[in-house]
Amino acid sequence: MIVRQAPVPAQRRLGARLRGAAGVVPGALTIGNMLAGYAAILAATEHRFPLAALLVLVAGVLDGLDGRIARLTGTTSRFGEQLDSLADAVSFAVAPSMLAFFMGLERLGRVGWAACFLFAACGVIRLARFNAFPPRDSRYFVGLPIPAAAGAVISPALLAGARPMPDEALPFLLVAMVVIALLMISPIRYRSYKDLAFGGRLYRALAVWAALLAGLVAAHEWVVPAVVLLYLVSPLIEKMRSVGDRGDDADDQDDAEDPDVRIV
């Protein structure tokens, strides 16, 4: 007895092909992320600092898109996660450290390249820790995310433009590199903003993105450092707010328990 398999409907075959094609997009964006980081390294070695900083920003945009598209299309995989981490190591660990080195830290000799290596090493450790021990609470990252750390390192290049860093600013850049490197492997929690909601209103999210893009186009050399600085100190701001809220709650409880309080 011969059993003939029922033909697969054309719409189902088309849907499978579209899903297969959509699965290629996140990987292609990840490779684009690594390409931008590699180009940033080359630009830094040629002392084209603003271009190198912009290429790191491009890598950050592509890095933000690949994961979201993978989740939207249901094409997430362990291979994609590992590929993304390797690309991030190039774009956000090696490229910013090379930019800082050629922008001025090379003039500090062994101390300068040691600080740049520390940043790159801590960035790679940060990525490995995230893969091995994913955060239990998706609302927070443990340690400064490496794209934010890269944004902090490239900020001087955005502010200074094509000019090399003056000698008197190099100690501050050196200290900043070390502090940012240690923040990446610290236990400090940073908000991921994955739970950010706009009341179910899509137009609000689009308005925020439009405002951010407009600011980047109009004055990216000021907007990026300002946003990065605000994110760097955001755990301190949240801590101060939580302490203030607990103080207000304690005052309210004391007022409620005070027998001398009378409602007039």
How many distinct structural domains can be found in the chain? 1
219 has pLDDT over 90? no
Confidence (pLDDT) at 255 = 56
pLDDT of 15 strictly over 60: no
Backbone conformation region of residue 241, classed left if phi is above 0, alpha if psi is from -120 to 50, else beta: alpha
Give domain status of residue 138, yes or no. Answer: yes
Q: What is the pLDDT of residue 145?
A: 94
- Contact residues for 249 (Cβ-Cβ < 8 A; gap 6+): none
105 domain residue, yes or no: yes
Whole-number pLDDT of residue 263: 40
Mean pLDDT computed over every residue of the chain: 82
Please indicate, yes or no, if residue 222 is contained in any of the structural domains: no
Is the per-residue pLDDT at 149 higher than 60? yes
pLDDT tens, residue by residue, 61-117? 899 888 878 877 777 788 888 999 999 999 999 999 999 999 999 999 999 999 999
153 vs 200 pLDDT, higher one: 153
Whether 137 is in a domain gets the answer yes
Handedness of CA 58, 60, 63, 64 (dihedral sign): negative
Q: What is the pLDDT of residue 92?
A: 96
Q: What is d(CA 74, CA 216) in angstroms, rounded to the nearest whole number?
A: 31
Which residues span the domain enclosing 74?
Answer: 26-193
Q: Does 30 fall in a domain?
A: yes
Q: pTM of the prediction? A: 0.80
Q: Is residue 45 domain-resident?
A: yes
Percent with pLDDT over 90 in the chain? 46
Looking up residue 126, the CATH number of its domain turns out to be 1.20.120.1760
In a domain, residue 121? The reply is: yes
The answer to whether residue 112 sits within a structural domain is: yes
Q: Annotate 110-144 with b (16+ C-beta within 10 A) or e (fewer).
A: eebeebbebbbebbbbbbeebeeeeeeeeebbbbb
Residues with Cβ within 8 Å of 212's Cβ and at least 6 positions away in sequence, in order, are 223
